[in-house]
Amino acid sequence: MNSIQVNRRKFLQIGAAGIGLFAAGGLTRCSNDTAANSSAPFYKLGDIGPLQAPDEYGVMLPPGFSYRVVARSGEAPAGLPGYTWHGSPDGGACFPATDGGWVYVSNSEMRSNDGGVGALRFDASGDVIDAYSILENTSINCAGGATPWGTWLSCEEFSRGQVYECDPMGNARAVVRPALGTFRHEAVAVDMANNCLYLTEDVPEGGFYRFISANGLPDLESGRLEIASVTERDGKSVVNWLEVPDPLAILTPTRDQVLGFTPFRGGEGIALHDGKAYFTTKHDNRVWCYDTHDRQIEVIYDVLTSDNPILSGVDNVVITPAGDVLVAEDGGDMQLVVITPAQELAPLVQIVGHERSEIVGPAFDPSYHRLYFSSQRGNSGDRRVGGITYEISFTG
C-alpha cells in the first residue's frame, strides 16, 4: 500500500463535504420538512433521565437508549474472517465512507510492539461488514485524534512515543510524524483556523503542546513544536507558547527543554469545538477549556470544587456539534458523563462489574445517531481478551 498523501485540492473538497455532514447538528434526528436546515436535537443531553438498573451484562442507560456489542477482543467482529478484534481497545473516532456507511477506528494499548489500530466498517444500515488493521507493531497506542482531511492520528503513550497518521479505510500505509514530538503522547486535536494541532502528555507534570505546520495543514512533515506557559493577566489565565528546541528529545525530554513551561497533571483526552480546546487532566480530575482566539485557559470542572462531583478518573473526550462535552472515566464509576455548555453534568452510560477496566474511545458516527465506546478490559480485567466495544443509540 502507498503511504498517505493528501492532495490539497482534494482536501478542500473533503472539508466542504464534512461541513455538510455535520451541519445538521449533534445527536440529531431531522424531520423530512426540516432536514435541510434544522439542528433540533432528537434528545436533549441536558435533560437526560436517571440511569436505569443494570441489565444482566451490567450496562446502565437512561430511558429511551439501547445498546449492542459490536466487537470483543480476541474474537472476529460479526463472525467475519480475517481480523481478530485487538486487545486493550482505547481511543477511537468515526469516519464517513463513500457508500453512506462509516468506519470506527480503535487504538490498541497493548505493549511491546503488540499495539496498533483496528477498524470496524459499517454499511449504510449500520451492519458491520468488515474489520481490519490500519496500524501494527507499535506500542501503547492510547488516544489520538481525527483530522478534518480524513485520517486518524494514533498516539503512543510512552517516553519515546510517536504519532502515526493512519488511513481509516486501510488503503494507505500509516506514516510516523516525528515533527509532532517524542514524548508520552495521549491525544491530539486539529485547529484548522490557526494551522496547528494541540497535544496532551500523560505524565504527572506533563506539557500542553501546540504544533504549527510549516507548510500549512494538512502537511505534518515539518513545523514548530511549542509548549504552554500560563501567566496571570488582569485576573485571567493566558497561555504563552514557547518553542521546544528539539522535538525529537534526543538528549532531554521535550517538557524539560523550556524554562517556565506550565505543568499539567496528567494530560488525557482533547477535542476542539467552536474555537475552544477541551482537555482533561487525570491526576487532579479537571476538565480544561483553552480559547484559541484570546489564548485564555480555565477549568470548567474540578472534582474538588464542583457542586455535582460525579465525574472522576477523567480520560477520553468527545464533543457534539451542540457543544456537549462527553468525558469517559478511567475507573471512577465507569461512566460516560456529559458536561453541557451550561456546565451541568449527567451520566449517559455506566458499566457495573467492570471495576478493573476503563471507559475508552467515545466517538459518534457521522450522523450523530450512534455513539461508540469500549470497556477496555471488560469484566475480566484482561488486557488481551477482555475488551468490549459498544454502540449506543436512541430509540425513544
Confidence class of residue 46 from pLDDT cuts 50, 70 and 90? low
Q: Per-residue pLDDT for 28 more than 60?
A: no
Establish if 10 belongs to a structural domain. Answer: no
CATH of the domain at 78: 2.120.10.30
Establish if 22 belongs to a structural domain. Answer: no
Q: What proportion of the chain, given as a percentage, has pLDDT over 70?
A: 88
Establish if 19 belongs to a structural domain. Answer: no
Q: Per-residue pLDDT for 1 more than 50?
A: no
Q: What was the pLDDT predicted at 6?
A: 54
Q: What was the pLDDT predicted at 48?
A: 81
Establish if 17 belongs to a structural domain. Answer: no
Establish if 306 belongs to a structural domain. Answer: yes
CA distance 179 to 247: 7
Q: Per-residue pLDDT for 17 more than 50?
A: no
Q: Per-residue pLDDT for 131 more than 60?
A: yes
Establish if 83 belongs to a structural domain. Answer: yes
Quick: pLDDT tens for 227-283: 999 999 999 999 999 999 999 999 999 999 999 999 999 999 999 999 999 999 999
Establish if 30 belongs to a structural domain. Answer: no
Q: What was the pLDDT predicted at 3?
A: 65
Quick: pLDDT tens for 194-223: 999 999 999 999 999 999 999 999 999 999
Establish if 212 belongs to a structural domain. Answer: yes
Q: Per-residue pLDDT for 41 more than 80?
A: no
How many independent structural domains does the chain possess? 1
CA distance 251 to 247: 10
Task: Give residue 200's domain range.
Answer: 42-394
Q: Per-residue pLDDT for 34 more than 90?
A: no
